[in-house]
């Protein structure tokens, strides 16, 4: 097995920010670094995360590069690592930055059902991705800074997703739902997109297990609802895991389609969720740990390669996928398989390293 610590250090040591401004892609690698620090105690990971955040968050807590011109649920995700910075330093600027993200979320547009729009350019739409972008941050905020006053809004948004995006026959969740039923990619009766995308399911599983982790245990009914929802979701995806590797396909239920492939980012998210679920006592160890170990072995033995540059790389990642706007990105199987398949994409690497942190904790 490759040296995961050496890979992580090499990747972070040469990491360049994904965009010029404050963005969710970079926040994913920050969360991975924080997870690795918590798993290993290696100060390299702490310094990586703190160094990045200090470059963007000013002494007064402002973030000049935060995208203010349009609402995007993605922009809330970078608020999560700020709690780590606050814990590490106790400096007021981090609390100010956290409150800025929360105030931004308070004014974020909502669907009639109560859930946040995915983005201002994607009105009336709920995507699985968006649960991860906002709700773990909110759960941290509720449990630590808001006395759980609005926790029902968090579990309520998960309830809406379960009601509208879940397919009980497949045990899977569709990528997106258009409440207005206007988008070209949606079914005009249900508002649903057409397929089950690996990374969308991965975001959703991580959103649930992280919210369970951050939920105040005194809020038993809310936490238990998320636990039951999570257990249902992992039971649903279990039959679709590849028998040999434990990984999942880019279009999860379409093994019959030529060109479909075992996709690394969604599989890493699934592996992380399973390992963390066992660690938190949410999943039964004797039933789920063998599957988690199989997925971890599948990732490290089939998706890691040594390139001509002598560096280790993680391959078979979907670079990006979405729905719309307009006639673009129609959510078909052909669409998901047309998106660029690459190595070392930041979201995929971050998910892989989050899974690595859980594997380290589990001693595998």
Residues 89-123 pLDDT 10s: 999 999 999 999 999 999 999 999 999 999 999 99
Q: Which residues pair with 305 in a beta bridge?
A: 313
261: Cα within 13 Å, side-chain hemisphere = 17
pLDDT, one tens digit per residue, over 294-304 is: 999 999 999 99
Mean pLDDT throughout 31-39? 98
Question: Under CATH, which number does the domain 4-362 receive?
Answer: 1.50.10.10
For the chain, give every domain's residue range: 4-362
pLDDT reported for residue 49: 98
pLDDT, one tens digit per residue, over 45-77 is: 999 999 999 999 999 999 999 999 999 999 999
Question: 276 vs 80, 124, 234, 280, 358, CA distance in Å?
Answer: 18, 32, 12, 6, 6
Split at pLDDT 50, 70, 90, the class of 308 is confident
Residue 352 confidence (pLDDT) above 90: yes
Residue 1 confidence (pLDDT) above 60: no
Residue 151 confidence (pLDDT) above 90: yes
Orientation of helix 346-362 relative to helix 264-279, angle to 10°: 30
pLDDT reported for residue 307: 84
Counting Cβ atoms within 10 Å, is residue 147 exposed (0-12), middle (13-18) or buried (19+)?
exposed
Residue 162 confidence (pLDDT) above 70: yes
The residues near 209 (Cβ < 8 Å, ≥ 6 apart) are: 230, 272, 273, 276, 277, 280, 282
Mean pLDDT throughout 138-149? 98
pLDDT, one tens digit per residue, over 242-276 is: 999 999 999 999 999 999 999 999 999 999 999 99
Residue 313 confidence (pLDDT) above 60: yes
The per-residue pLDDT of the chain, averaged, comes to 97
pLDDT reported for residue 27: 98
Contact 255, 337 (CB under 8 A): no
Split at pLDDT 50, 70, 90, the class of 24 is very high
Altogether, the residues listed in the chain come to a count of 364
- Cis peptide leading into 183, omega within 30 of 0? no
pTM score, whole prediction = 0.98
Contact 124, 111 (CB under 8 A): yes
């Amino acid at each position: 097995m490759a040296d995961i610590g050496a890979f992580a250090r090499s990747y972070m040591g040469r990491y360049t920010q994904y965009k010029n401004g404050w963005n969710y892609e970079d926040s994913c690698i920050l969360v991975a670094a924080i997870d690795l620090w918590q798993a290993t105690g290696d100060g390299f990971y702490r310094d990586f995360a703190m160094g990045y955040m200090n470059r963007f968050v000013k002494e007064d807590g402002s973030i000049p590069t935060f995208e203010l011109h349009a609402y995007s649920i993605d922009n809330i995700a970078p608020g999560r690592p700020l709690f780590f910075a606050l814990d590490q330093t106790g400096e007021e600027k981090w609390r100010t930055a956290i409150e800025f993200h929360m105030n931004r979320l308070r004014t974020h547009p909502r669907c009639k059902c109560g859930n946040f729009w995915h983005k201002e350019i994607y009105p009336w739409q709920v995507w699985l991705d968006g649960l991860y972008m906002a709700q773990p941050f909110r759960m941290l905020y509720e449990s630590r800074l808001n006395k759980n006053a609005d926790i029902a809004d968090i579990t309520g948004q998960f309830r809406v997703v379960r009601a509208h995006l879940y397919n009980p026959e497949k045990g899977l969740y569709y990528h997106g739902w258009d409440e207005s039923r206007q988008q070209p990619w949606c079914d005009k009766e249900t508002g649903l997109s057409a397929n089950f995308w690996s990374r969308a399911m991965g975001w959703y599983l991580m959103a649930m297990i992280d919210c369970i982790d951050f939920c105040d245990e005194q809020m038993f009914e809310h936490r238990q609802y998320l636990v039951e929802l999570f257990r249902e979701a992992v039971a649903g995806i279990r039959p679709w895991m590849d028998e040999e590797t434990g990984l999942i396909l880019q279009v999860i239920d379409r093994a019959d389609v030529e060109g479909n492939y075992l996709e690394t980012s969604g599989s890493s998210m699934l592996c992380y969720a399973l390992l963390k679920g066992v660690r938190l006592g949410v999943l039964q160890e004797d039933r789920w740990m063998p599957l988690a170990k199989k997925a971890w072995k599948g990732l490290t033995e089939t998706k890691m390669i040594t390139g001509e540059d002598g560096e280790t790389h993680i391959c078979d990642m979907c670079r990006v996928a979405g729905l719309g706007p307009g006639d673009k990105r129609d959510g078909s199987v052909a669409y998901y398989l047309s998106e660029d398949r690459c190595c070392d994409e930041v979201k995929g690497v971050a998910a892989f390293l989050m899974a690595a942190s859980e594997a380290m904790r589990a001693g595998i």
